[in-house]
Amino acid sequence: MKRLVLAGAGHAHLHVLRALGEAPWPGVEVVLVTPYPRQIYSGMVPGWIAGHYRLDECVAPVLPLAGAAGVRVVGDAVCALDANRGHVTLADGGSIEFDVLSLDTGARLALGAGLANHPGLLPVRPLESFVEKWTQVLPMLLDDDNARVAVIGGGAAGVELALAVAYRLRRETGVTAPRVMLACGGGLLPGHAPGVVRRARAALAGQGVELVEQRVRADGSALETEAGVPLAADWVIAATGVGPPDWLAQSGLTLAPDAFIAVGRGQQSVSHANVFAAGDVASRIDAPHAKSGVYAVRAGPVLTGNLQRALAGRPLEPYRPQRRSLYLLAAGPREAIVSWGAFSASGRLAWRWKDWIDRRFMRRYQCPGKR
């Protein structure tokens, strides 16, 4: 009997679990290490914040999926990996040996200057903690019309969150005075076409979000621009970009220049043939691409096939990630902004498209029998 260890219940591993539920792999014991019994789907979180979804609509329940797949679940987090000796260490001190390891643990949030000490900090990762904190903070924001929110980070997540928060507060309190700012010193939606940026600016202005196009830092509870201009914010949502998990550096795996796991054409580690990685924790060295959920989802089927092949000692199949991907950015109300290379569009139809794609994706894991 060979042992496959799945670390993390990220997007690609949801696919592996579903495939195992449909047809078990004979002679393979599968162990899933996951700190949470569910996987929150980030693509629907801005819609949840805006009030369009209930939380349960944005969640894939991992335990039933694993149960149907005959997978043993260890409710813990990997905190160290020895790729040469073939074992992972868990936060509770235990360890698990593997014949084949697959990592889909996502990335950690790379926090900006001094932000870690801000008393009102709401880091977007881990998503579980963010969702829990936001659930506590929202009633306070609804009770106090003067409380203000700063969202730090001009990437897709920062823009979507700023729009969602502003829309929700306006809708529920009726207060139209600006209460949300978006700080994007690294630029607004870098990597997206000018038309997308223009549409995002219009949406942000429409929801009364103040744009601060400068880097910001925090000293205790004081938030200010790099130039020293104070910014009023009681709560700070940090969507400041991603970094690799701390435990990768000592894992023995070859890392890519960005310090994530270097993987090749079959999502296989370039240094260890029995280690695979997908999603944000991996970097394709032959075909670099953005760290986004789209790529994590797309890697699921190829990862599934190649894990099976590796366990059976068969040659792997290569996989070429798409060169550009479609982004549908939630824009506050039931509207979205489409970003596809140089093409942009926005409006209610785009939201309906996004909603359809997201709900269909979630149905696959909430009701595993459905396609």
Cα 330 from chain centre: 15
Query: Which string of x and - marks every residue 106-135 that binds ligand FAD (by CB under 6 A)?
Result: x-----------------x-x---------
Does the footprint of ligand FAD cover residue 157 (CB under 6 A)? yes
Burial 224-237 (b: 16+ CB within 10 A, else e): ebeeeeebebbbbb
Candidates 37-45, 141-149, 216-224, 332-340; binding stretch for ligand FAD (CB under 6 A):
37-45
| Cα 114 to the center of its chain, rounded Å | 23
- Closer of 225 and 264 to ligand FAD (Cβ): 264
Q: Count how many Cα atoms sit within 13 Å of the Cα of residue 248 in the half-sphere of its side chain.
A: 26
In 3-state terms, what secondary structure has residue 363? helix
Distance CA 309, CA 208 (A): 53
Tokens standing for residue 6: 């799945």
Residue 294: which H helix or E strand, with range?
Answer: helix 293-312
Q: Residue 216: which of 182, 180, 190, 179 has the closest Cα?
A: 182
Type of residue numbered 236? V
| Closest CB to ligand FAD among residues 231, 329 | 329
- Binding to ligand FAD, residues 229-258 (CB under 6 A): 245
Is residue 355 close enough to count as binding ligand FAD by CB under 6 A? no
Give the contact letters, 301-340, x = binds to ligand FAD (CB under 6 A), - = no: ----------------------------------------
Q: Which stretch binds ligand FAD (CB under 6 A): 6-14, 181-189, 222-230, 342-350?
A: 6-14
Closest contact distance (angstroms) between CB of 13 and ligand FAD is 7
List residues near ligand FAD by CB under 6 A. Answer: 7-12, 33-36, 39, 42-43, 45-46, 77-78, 104-106, 124, 126, 156-157, 160-161, 245, 279-281, 291-294, 296
